[in-house]
């Protein structure tokens, strides 16, 4: 099912400058796999050498950090917004 | 950079100091660029905050060899009594002193609190007396100067409360429009403290982490200077001045141990960096400064990771503490705080709401300093560290008090008794006195 994926500035070059993409997938992993298929290069930016999401990448589904949901297995429903957001922000 | 500073200062500067005049380094030379703290990728000085490749935080690179040749105790002493006396070690091109006294706050001995905690050489760095009554004026002074240099017209932030007023006031001083985003449950006093300057305030239905995420997305849409997002590498450098001042006020010497409250963790990492830089450029003797941190139990992701020996931070989804200025559930620099505290033989301790209030009362009643709740967290953590022998009785200890108690009156009010009411007569007062003596 299609979900809306929000792309942060540092990764937009990989998506031909798009800030938002419609991507198919029933879970966050499926969406990221589909993203890599359509726009190669995302995977190595989002995952570390161990295959885990990088320490400084946050992923949100409908505004909720997937760490508080089911991680990369978090299920998605049609129209959900998935956001990739750099973790280094805020505070002082 | 000394000659640039000299030109900018109202009173003569660079004469009579061979070290300062040797090079006359320009800002462009002393600040080399940005570098990813994780993969070391280098970037030019631009309003960017994360590495394009690995999303790691970007940090300012300086030419420390040049700074070692050009910056002296004397060149600093000739600077203004504000953070701008350390301009050479800040990533701002032109001296940004607006005449507004940010920083150079008191470092005061705390013998009474020290006695209460069993510490013989305790000091308080009292940052509650900055222009908007918290340490945020430091970081915001640097960020607003940098925002001007980058040509932005709007200055914005995601705030837990203190940053809001600092940004709002700085916007007025430097002529930038301001947008401030806060969690909707921010203390009323902090909201009023920002509104009074005429900032555009936006209350967000959510936690600080929700505000932060929203602001990251807004920063992708609008060409604004978000001080703790796209200008964060510069902004966070302002916190180093808390270490610079401490060392200078101790006679150019680092303390043995510092205790710092933790929200995002940036403050603690930058205080550690500040002492490192002074050693690197030869302004203080080499010494391993021990670094400990303080969090509230209701938002303790770093304290929990420290206590459990984890390397990663498990975010707190719904922070619940009276120390709202520290209520960041997913702290950006938490990972680095863990590394620093472990490397520097410190510890992270946490304080419950009751312990926070007790810490505030203890500080006020022993040293006459009224701190906000974050200060109560710092004192309560220090108390635990002292009791456990982690902070040792013979160490020279500095505890950082980062905000003013008048900002969090709501938190402290329920724990204080209202004053007695007497008639405007001597008889009534005498009756009150004798009643009091009877009770005693």
pLDDT in tens, B380-428: 999 999 999 999 999 999 999 999 999 999 999 999 999 999 999 999 9
Full residue range of the structural domain in which residue B405 is found = 107-133+238-415
Residues B218 and B268 in one domain: no
Residues B395 and B137: their CA atoms lie apart, in Å, by 29
* B440 domain residue, yes or no: no
Residues A53 and B172: their CA atoms lie apart, in Å, by 41
The chain A residue lying nearest B209, using CA atoms, is A90
Residues B358 and B270 in one domain: yes
Residues B149 and B212 in one domain: yes
Backbone angles phi, psi at B200, to 5 degrees: -85, 115
Q: Taking 90 as the threshold, does the pLDDT of residue B437 lie above it?
A: no
* Interface contacts A/B by beta carbons within 8 Å: 103
* B302 domain residue, yes or no: yes
CB contacts under 8 A, B 114-133 vs A, are none
* Confidence tier at A10 by pLDDT (50, 70, 90): confident
Residues B129 and B89: their CA atoms lie apart, in Å, by 23
Q: Taking 70 as the threshold, does the pLDDT of residue B56 lie above it?
A: yes
Which ipTM value was assigned to this complex?
0.87
CB contacts under 8 A, B 194-253 vs A, are 206, 208-210, 212-213, 215-217, 220-221, 228-229, 232, 235-236, 238-239
Q: Which of B235, B259, B285 is the last residue of a domain?
A: B235
**Shortest Cα–Cα distance, A1 to chain B (Å):** 24
Q: Which of B190, B211, B235 is the last residue of a domain?
A: B235
Q: Taking 80 as the threshold, does the pLDDT of residue B368 lie above it?
A: yes
Backbone angles phi, psi at B20, to 5 degrees: -70, -30
Please name the member of B51, B229, B315 whose beta carbon is closest to the beta carbon of A89: B229
CATH number of the domain that residue B357 is part of: 3.40.50.1100
Residues B246 and B398: their CA atoms lie apart, in Å, by 8
CB contacts under 8 A, B 152-171 vs A, are 158, 160, 163
Backbone angles phi, psi at A30, to 5 degrees: -65, -40
* Confidence tier at B162 by pLDDT (50, 70, 90): very high
Q: Which of B211, B235, B259 is the last residue of a domain?
A: B235
Residues B402 and B410: their CA atoms lie apart, in Å, by 18
Residues B106 and B228: their CA atoms lie apart, in Å, by 26
* B427 domain residue, yes or no: no
**Shortest Cα–Cα distance, A87 to chain B (Å):** 6
Whole-number pLDDT of residue A69 = 93
Q: Which segments of B326-390 does DSSP mark as H helices, in order?
A: 334-343, 353-367, 373-387
Q: Which residues of A touch B (CB under 8 A)?
A: 6, 8-10, 19, 45, 54-58, 60, 63, 65, 67-68, 83, 85-92
Query: How many residues are there in chain A?
Result: 92
> Domain spans of chain A?
2-86
Those residues whose C-beta lies under 8 Å from the C-beta of residue A59, and which sit 6 or more positions away, are: A28, A53, A65, A66, A82, A83, A84, A85
Residue carrying structure tokens 């940052």? B127
- State how far the alpha carbon of B46 is from the alpha carbons of B35, B83, B149, B150, B169, in Å: 11, 22, 10, 8, 24
* B438 domain residue, yes or no: no
**Shortest Cα–Cα distance, A33 to chain B (Å):** 18
Tens digits of residue pLDDT in B72-107: 999 999 999 999 999 999 999 887 667 789 999 999
Domain count, chain B: 3
Q: Does B86 contact A at CB distance below 8 Å?
A: no
Rounded mean pLDDT of B150-176? Answer: 95
Q: Are B218 and A9 in contact (CB under 8 A)?
A: no
Long-range contact pairs involving B175-181 (C-beta distance under 8 Å, separation at least 24): B175/B148, B176/B144, B176/B147, B176/B148, B176/B152, B176/B225, B177/B153, B178/B154, B179/B154, B179/B155, B179/B224, B180/B156, B181/B156, B181/B157, B181/B211, B181/B214, B181/B215, B181/B218
Whole-number pLDDT of residue B11 = 32
Residue from B164, B291, B289, B151 nearest B225 by CA: B151
The chain B residue lying nearest A69, using CA atoms, is B317
* B314 domain residue, yes or no: yes
Please name the member of B52, B163, B210 whose beta carbon is closest to the beta carbon of A92: B163
* Confidence tier at A92 by pLDDT (50, 70, 90): low
Backbone angles phi, psi at B157, to 5 degrees: -160, 160
Beta bridge partners of B178: B155
Percentage of chain B beyond pLDDT 70 is 93
Q: At what angle do helices B334-343 and B266-280 cross, to 10 degrees?
A: 50
> Do B213 and A91 count as a contact with CB atoms less than 8 A apart?
no
- State how far the alpha carbon of B188 is from the alpha carbons of A67, B164, B185, in Å: 31, 12, 8
CATH architecture of residue range(s) A2-86: Roll (3.10)
Tens digits of residue pLDDT in B110-150: 999 999 999 999 999 999 999 999 999 999 999 999 999 99
> Do B330 and A87 count as a contact with CB atoms less than 8 A apart?
yes
Paired tokens of B13: 């500067």
Whole-number pLDDT of residue B253 = 98
């Amino acid at each position: 099912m299609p979900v809306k994926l929000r792309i942060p500035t540092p990764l937009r070059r990989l998506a031909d400058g798009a800030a938002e993409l419609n991507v198919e997938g029933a879970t966050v992993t499926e969406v990221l796999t589909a993203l890599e298929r359509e726009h190669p290069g995302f995977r190595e930016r989002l995952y570390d050498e161990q295959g885990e999401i990088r320490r400084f990448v946050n992923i949100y589904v409908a505004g909720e950090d997937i760490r508080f949901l089911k991680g990369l297995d978090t299920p998605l429903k049609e129209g959900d917004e998935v956001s990739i957001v750099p973790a280094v922000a805020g505070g002082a | 950079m000394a000659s640039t500073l000299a030109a900018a200062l109202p009173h003569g500067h660079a004469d009579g100091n061979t070290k300062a005049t040797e090079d006359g380094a320009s800002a462009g030379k002393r600040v080399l660029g940005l570098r990813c703290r994780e993969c070391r990728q280098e970037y030019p000085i631009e309003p960017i905050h994360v590495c394009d490749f690995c999303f790691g935080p970007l940090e300012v690179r300086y030419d420390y060899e040049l700074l070692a040749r050009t910056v002296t105790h004397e060149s600093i002493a000739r600077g203004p009594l504000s953070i701008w006396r350390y301009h050479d070690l800040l990533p701002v091109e032109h001296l940004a002193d607006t005449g507004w006294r940010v920083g150079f706050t008191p470092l005061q001995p705390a013998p009474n609190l020290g006695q209460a905690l069993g510490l013989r050489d305790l000091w308080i760095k009292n940052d509650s007396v900055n222009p908007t009554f918290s340490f945020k004026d430091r970081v915001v002074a640097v960020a607003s100067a940098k925002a001007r240099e980058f040509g932005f017209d709007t200055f914005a932030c995601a705030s837990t409360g203190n940053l809001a007023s600092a940004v709002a006031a700085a916007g007025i001083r430097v002529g930038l429009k301001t947008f401030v985003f806060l969690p909707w449950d921010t203390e009323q006093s902090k909201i009023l403290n920002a509104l009074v300057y005429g900032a555009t305030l936006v209350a967000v239905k959510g936690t600080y982490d929700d505000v932060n995420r929203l602001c990251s997305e807004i920063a992708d849409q609008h060409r604004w200077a978000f001080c703790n997002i796209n200008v964060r590498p510069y902004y966070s450098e302002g916190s180093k001045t808390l270490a610079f001042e401490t060392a200078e006020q101790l006679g150019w010497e680092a303390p043995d141990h510092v205790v710092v409250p933790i929200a995002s963790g940036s403050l603690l990492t930058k205080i550690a960096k500040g002492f490192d830089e002074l050693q690197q450029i030869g302004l203080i003797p080499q010494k391993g400064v021990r670094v400990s941190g303080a969090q509230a139990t209701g938002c303790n992701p770093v304290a929990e990771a420290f206590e459990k020996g984890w390397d990663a931070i498990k975010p707190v989804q719904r922070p619940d503490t009276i120390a709202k200025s520290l209520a960041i559930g997913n702290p950006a620099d938490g990972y680095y705080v863990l590394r620093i505290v472990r490397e520097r033989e410190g510890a992270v301790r946490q304080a419950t709401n009751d312990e926070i209030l007790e810490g505030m009362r203890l500080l006020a009643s022993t040293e006459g300093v009224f701190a906000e709740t974050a200060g109560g967290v710092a004192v309560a953590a220090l108390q635990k560290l002292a009791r456990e022998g982690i902070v040792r009785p013979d160490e020279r200890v500095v505890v950082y008090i980062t905000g003013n108690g008048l900002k969090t009156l709501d938190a402290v009010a329920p724990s204080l008794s209202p004053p007695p009411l007497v008639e405007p007569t001597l008889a009534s007062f005498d009756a009150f006195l004798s009643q009091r003596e009877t009770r005693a």
